[in-house]
Amino acid sequence: MSVTPLLKIEGLKASIDETEILKGIDLEILPGEVHAVMGRNGSGKSTTAHVLMGHPDYEVTNGNVKLDGEDLLEMESYERARAGVFLSFQYPHSVPGLQVGNFLRRSVSAINGEEAAKGPEFRNLLKEGMEQLGLDRSFLARYVNDGFSGGEKKRFEILQMMLIKPKLAILDETDSGLDIDGIRTVAQGVDAAIRGSNSGALIITHYNRILEHVKPDKIHVLIDGKIVKSGGPELANKLEERGYDWIEKEVMANE
Amino acid sequence: MSSPYLEHANTDKAAHIWRYTPWKRAHPTGTINEVPQSESPEISISLVDGTSVPDGITIEPATESDIERLGHELDFDHGTAAPKFIAAVAKKTMILKIENKIKVETPLIVTITTSGDICASRLLIDIGSQVEAEIITLIEGNANWTGILREGQYGSNSIINDVVTQITGNRLVRCDALSLCRDAQVKAGTVNASSSQAKIDIRHWLNEPGSSLKVNGSILSSNENHLDSHIEITHSGRQTHSRLEWHSACGGKSNTTGTGMLRIDAGAKGADAGQLFHNLLLSEKAKANSIPELEVLESEVVGCGHGTANGPIDEQQLFYLSTRGLDEEQARAALIAAFLNTPLSDMGSNLLHGWLVERIEKHLNLI
């Protein structure tokens, strides 16, 4: 019996200001799988994340995206979030005046229902998550991402992911700007939210450091808006050792 | 009726203070030479938690000597018409007195309940030295036009959070003339939501050394509200400090104005002052004006700056919240609340903040 892919992207093309960034992406993630997308700056990694989340600046010009068989591209961003897509931002936006605790309750309530955002179960989950991520209780009274260090921002994104428990977590360079301990902590957070469940994750990264801690099932290499090579975890090591030039040459030779 | 007000009734329309809301418009009848009959509001004091008001805190009719001691000359330069008018129409003057060294753990509420067509009150504020207290003045009731004049002083070395709120109501003219004694630390907050028309003129004098003032405004205008606030801070004493942060969320067809004057007198060495007006424009038809001004007559100051920022809701913030499951309406409401909350949360303790948030939140759906 065939398994319905958690995420299925076919021929996805997207533009911003009439400049085509994604030039035909195909990708399939099965439940319980962790995939990684690697590539140089400007290859379209963050664009992929934003397009999947429905950022209004991007126009999808071709292709389709299904989450659990449902058409994701037909949904507004908040509907995608409620359907189970979570994006951990590379540069999360600050919202001065909105307290972290208040924001978390609103967000969990909007996505998982009012009951999920109150009571001892929520409080315990919050407490455990904060302890695991090394966030002090006073963190809840601070304003969302306002004055946070780079590491605090990333940990806060992961805390949200742990509370929301998405079907599909997209981590856009969550590892950049983190020290080794931070990466390990984030990796534990990803494992806790994804492994052993029917959820999946798409990790977008420059480096293979985070992939040493979150063992991906598949690695995809994105060059100029297209996935040009896919493989197992060994592909990340190869990229670390040899860079991207050899893949580019391979692509050119094939063309 | 003969009144000292009438000498000031004819205002200079070109003056900054009347440019956006002429006195004729703010005056209850529009006939500026008229001093109409007015009602007196009910004024009472209580504590937020419902417990008894401690000894040493009273509100009672003021005596002539109270007025002489605490009443300012009501010389508001070009803006003098408004405070003189309120003083003229108010039938009685009350005094809120907190005796020296009183410390109140729970916010004190001064409730001013208005009624009738025109309702006016003159309230003297007499805060003793070394007092620590939070005061919420709540203007409520159904008068068509309300005039509130608050005058007085914060005693030396006192620590006071003084918030004035008008969350429901019709037309309002409010004038404050308050001075800070030596080393007084004051946070003066204004919360206004849904007044149909408000002309607010808040003036503080830092006459004595070491005094420190933070003025916070959290203004929510909607429908066809017309809200005009002028905030003036004068540094006369040495080593004085002030900051002004005024946030206005402007929706509907509202017209919101914030004008500021920071004045540093000659001799106010070591003064440190700054003001910032921030307008969040929530609709294409909402108008917002912010005009901060400086007048610095002393060269040895730590700093004196001003700024203004206007703009719509940040699209990136909106997207961030939508990725967290909030639909557009929920995300907008959260961002407006956050914008207003920044100065609101700086007005006082968590208890005071919670009290204010509870009362302002229900008005967010108006815009």
pLDDT for A133-177, tens place per residue? 889 999 999 999 999 999 899 999 999 999 999 999 999 999 887
Where does residue B247 rank: exposed (0-12), middle (13-18), buried (19+ CB within 10 A)?
A: buried
Q: What is the mean pLDDT of residues A219-225?
A: 95
Q: A179 lies in a domain?
A: yes
Name the β-bridge partners of B152.
B125, B178
How many beta-carbon pairs under 8 angstroms link A with B?
A: 77
pLDDT at B365: 57
Residue A184 has pLDDT above 90, yes or no: no
pLDDT at A194: 79
Pair A46, A173: CB distance under 8 Å: yes
Interface of B with A (CB under 8 A): 314-317, 319-328, 330-331, 334-335, 337-342, 345
Going by their DSSP bridges, the two strands A200-205 and A226-231 should be labelled as unpaired
Q: How far is CA B1 from CA B4, B29, B116, in A?
A: 10, 15, 21
Candidates B320, B335, B339; nearest CB to A92? B320
**Count of domains forming chain A:** 1
Smallest CA-to-CA distance from B189 within B222, B157, B239, B229 is with B229
pLDDT at B1: 47
d(CA B314, nearest CA chain A) in Å = 10
ipTM over 0.90: yes
Range of the domain at A65: 7-95+167-254
Pair B109, B42: CB distance under 8 Å: no
Range of the domain at B338: 4-366
Share of chain B above pLDDT 90, in %: 85
Q: How far is CA A90 from CA A150, A175, A204, B233, B313, in A?
A: 10, 9, 9, 43, 21
pLDDT at A187: 85
Are A96 and B342 inside 8 Å of each other by CB? yes
Query: Which CATH number covers residue A21?
Result: 3.40.50.300
pLDDT at A73: 97
Interface of A with B (CB under 8 A): 53-56, 76-78, 80-82, 86-87, 89, 92-93, 95-98, 103, 106-107, 110-111, 143, 160, 164
Q: A145 lies in a domain?
A: no
Torsional sign, CA B42, B129, B163, B217: positive
d(CA A78, nearest CA chain B) in Å = 4
Are A107 and B317 inside 8 Å of each other by CB? no
Where does residue B168 rank: exposed (0-12), middle (13-18), buried (19+ CB within 10 A)?
A: middle
Smallest CA-to-CA distance from B322 within A47, A87, A155 is with A87
Are B316 and A160 inside 8 Å of each other by CB? no
Pair B130, B101: CB distance under 8 Å: yes
Q: How far is CA B93 from CA B23, B83, B87, B357, in A?
A: 23, 13, 8, 31
pLDDT digits (tens, 9 = 90+) for B269-291: 999 999 999 999 999 999 999 99
Q: Hey, what are B27's tokens?
A: 């005056």
Given a cut of 70, the residues of chain B with pLDDT beneath it are 1-2, 168, 194, 363-367
d(CA B22, nearest CA chain A) in Å = 34
d(CA A114, nearest CA chain B) in Å = 12
**Count of domains forming chain B:** 1
What are the start-end ranges of the H helices in A54-146? 77-83, 100-112, 119-133
pLDDT band at residue A190, thresholds of 50, 70 and 90?
Answer: confident
Q: How far apart are CA B90 and CA B73, in angstroms?
A: 16
Pair A50, A216: CB distance under 8 Å: no
